[in-house]
A and B are shown apart, each in its own frame.
Chain A
Amino acid sequence: MTLLSPEVIAVLMLDGILFFFASLAFLLSLRIVLRWDERATTPLQYTLQKQAYLVATVIAFIFYLKLPLFLFFIYTLDLLSNILPGAMCAAGVTTATVYGMPLFGLKIANLYLFGLWLAAHRIDMGYPTMPYTRVKFLAYLLIFPLFVVEEALELLHFFGINPHVIVSCCGTLFSAAKSSAVSAFVSLPLPVTLGTFYGLFGLAVWAWRKQRPLLSALANLLFVPVAILSLIAFFSTYVYEMPHHHCPFCLLQADYRFVGYLMYAFLFFGTFFGMAAWLAKRMGYEGWRKWLLFSVIGDFLYVALVSYYPIAFYLKNGVWL
């Protein structure tokens, strides 16, 4: 039996709508890429220009719907954890099928890609002749398949969940004992983990001081997985104040005052602008310095917030977990 909860139905329905729009944008983009001629004054070119607006609007709609929908998606998984034996939070539901983890990764990656696309579009619109039109729509043609894969994984995941099979809870999933990529990181010596984490942050700050957007983009790109893994391996245990509770999802629950939402918002904001600044510079947009600044601010807020927990714990108890 598949899970026919109203939340799942809602997510699937919105996926359907998003898929419709994304496909529409894909078809129009294809035509734009093939037929766009900046200098032409033909009716075709005129139509394409108008359709370019539709594509951009549709992509903006997808992005701005995907952002809150991502949170709703996690919430839905959290709810499903009530039905799945063994699951305590979204983590267990995510691993209920083999598609869960790749789905999650792809969802995050797609958020960045759609966001970057919109940033590029904004910059392009700042030029009288929109010189990047063709590149932009070509880029969308490449993003679209990823989006389709995401949707497919989501369907496979929801229909693949078997409510009678016992799944693992976050406690065992992310423990050092288990043999997965995540667990491998969790079992790394702490100095290595934290060194990488703070090192990358330092690199991002340095890239800002020296105004090096490429470096910033690379540092931020790496910072995303490293931040999440070190959150699982180290910082989350201090939020829960339990040495063996490694989980990136429980943070989002009311018990911890929803602090996870704030953390992930900072992290997304910081890393997103870190990458966008490089893109902006490549496209000759002067605002990249501002974006670079946004990036350091976001990164800093994230680092400050997650660092607060172990430090506060140490000051209060005089020991580390």
Chain B
Amino acid sequence: MKNLFAFALGSLLRRGAKNLFIFVIFFLMVFVLASVFMVTHALKKEMFTTLSALPQITVQRIVAGRQTQIGVERAERIARILGVSQALPRVWGFYYFPRAGVNYSIVGLESFGQQYRADLQKAADLYVEKLAAEDVMIVGPGVKKSLAEHFYPESFLFVKPDGSLKKVRIAGVFKPQTVLESNDLILMENSLVREIFGMDESMATDIVVRVPNKEEIPTVARKIREIYPDTRVITREDLRISYQNVFDYKSGIFLALFIVAVFTFFIILYDKASGLSSEEKREIGILKALGWKIGDIMRVKFFEAAVISLTAYLLAVTAAVAYVFMAQAPLLKHLFTGFSVLKPPFALPFTVDVGTLALIFFVTVPVYIAATLIPSWKAATLDADEVIR
């Protein structure tokens, strides 16, 4: 077995040019596939971190099929539902800044009040005095940077709905849970947010609900829907599943396209492997005449295929790791940021899991070996006698 393996290696090297061609193409295919899956996997992970920061239940009011403001008094009613430990009205929205061409998310904080998220709570606690006393905001590091680039190093002028301007000073910088958010998050006091968006005191954007016992979430969600039929009640679980589906759907479609490419390649490969040169045929004839079994020759052929496909796989996966996580996937990343409404730049967190590697393995290596199966058999069952006469 060891000897046959050495023979297979030697024979790969002896037919270097032909094998190099196959190796390079196979390498590129695995590389593309691995890069795409690693990027999506990293994005997915980032997404789910974002998701874990979301409230368990979000209640929105829907009018004419669109989300609109919701009365804050509803929060009190919801808080009385059995199993609910807290219901907080949130005031937040998107603010478009034309010069930078970006949408900021402005999120309101209730000074001295409770926040629905740990990191926001920390920021609120830290700046509580300033937020209550004057018109200030706390921004993510990315926001700070982009404002400074457009000559607002200290403060910013928001345009209110009536066209008048509102100057808000930057009181500090805070670091949100995910990189994605650091680029667009702005925190302010609730009343300031209402002023900038022109909202009424009694209104909020939505209501977030906390339910300590996870099992009760679906029941609570149902009750809220019953009490307020004009609301949309979104649970974190719903969101997680729909995100997952979107990801799976997109990478699934990609994989389907990829498989078409793989098959085209393997038809070429099949063709190349079938077309034995007369020199190769003679060699096989000689080996058989010298007492090699059909199985011995097929084993050598299998070793050849396995060595090519496995080394190409390993090298391509390594190269993909370098491309995605060290070089931050130039080109590819932008292709896939369509997954979210978030803007670059952000860093892909390093995640390589066995499952992804197994997936890449299964759609490439066995297919390669399958494509060489019949050609090897054809070669191994050549009539020794006819070839060497």
Contacts and interface: CB of A to CB of B under 8 A. Distances in A.
Interface string A6-34: 11111101100100010000000000000
Contacts of B253: 4
A6 B248 CA distance: 6
A57 interface: yes
A65 B367 CA distance: 10
A50 B245 contact: no
Contact of B241 (A10, A53, A54, A163): A163
B201 interface: no
A61 B373 contact: yes
Nearest to B40: A6
Interface in B103-125: none
B352 to A, nearest CB: 15
Given A4-B248, A50-B381, A10 B366 contact: no
A104 interface: no
A238 B370 CA distance: 42
B23 interface: no
A185 B295 CA distance: 46
B251 interface: yes
Interface stretch (A79-87, A147-155, A197-205): A79-87
Given A4-B252, A6-B248, A10-B362, A54 B374 contact: yes
A53 B294 contact: yes
Contacts of B252: 4-6, 8-9
B171 interface: no
B358 interface: yes
Given A72-B358, A82-B244, A83-B244, A65 B366 contact: yes
Contacts of A53: 294-295, 298, 377, 380-381
Nearest to A9: B255
A13 B363 contact: yes
B377 A85 contact: no
A14 B359 contact: no
A236 B203 CA distance: 54
Interface residues of B, number: 32
A82 B380 CA distance: 47
B271 interface: no
Contact of B355 (A8, A65, A79, A85): A79
B380 A9 contact: no
A144 interface: no
Interface in B255-301: 255-256, 259, 294-295, 298
B370 A17 contact: yes
Contacts of B370: 17, 21, 61
B374 A14 contact: no
A9 B245 contact: no
Given A3-B248, A5-B248, A6-B255, A83 B241 contact: yes
Contact of A58 (B241, B244, B363, B373): B373
B174 interface: no
Interface in A64-98: 65, 68-69, 72, 75, 79, 82-83, 85
Nearest to B237: A85
B294 A72 contact: no
B249 interface: yes
A6 B37 contact: yes
Interface in B212-253: 237, 240-241, 244-245, 248-249, 251-253
Interface residues of A, number: 29
B294 A10 contact: no
A163 B245 contact: yes
Contacts of A14: 362-363, 366-367
- Max count, chain B CB within 10 A of own CB: residue among A13, A69, A79: A13
B248 A75 contact: no
A89 to B, nearest CB: 14
Contacts of B251: 5-6
- Max count, chain B CB within 10 A of own CB: residue among A9, A53, A75, A83: A9
A20 to B, nearest CB: 8
Contacts of B254: 6
Contact of B369 (A3, A61, A72): A61
Contacts of A85: 237, 241
Contact of A10 (B363, B377, B380): B363
Nearest to A79: B355
Contact of B245 (A10, A21, A65, A83): A83
B158 to A, nearest CB: 41
Interface string A151-165: 000000000000100
A10 B37 CA distance: 13
B359 A6 contact: yes
Nearest to B48: A82
Contacts of A21: 370, 373
B162 to A, nearest CB: 45
Nearest to A50: B381
Contacts of B245: 83, 163
Contacts of B295: 53
B37 A17 contact: no
A155 B245 CA distance: 19
Interface string B330-373: 00000000000000000000000001001100110011011001
Contacts of A5: 248, 251-252
A127 to B, nearest CB: 14
Contacts of A61: 369-370, 373
B372 to A, nearest CB: 10
8 contacts: A5-B251, A6-B248, A6-B255, A17-B366, A17-B370, A21-B370, A72-B362, A85-B241
Given A6-B37, A6-B255, A163-B245, 8 more contacts: A4-B249, A10-B359, A14-B363, A57-B373, A61-B370, A61-B373, A83-B245, A85-B241
Interface of A: 3-11, 13-14, 17, 21, 50, 53-54, 57-58, 61, 65, 68-69, 72, 75, 79, 82-83, 85, 163
Interface of B: 37, 237, 240-241, 244-245, 248-249, 251-256, 259, 294-295, 298, 355, 358-359, 362-363, 366-367, 369-370, 373-374, 377, 380-381
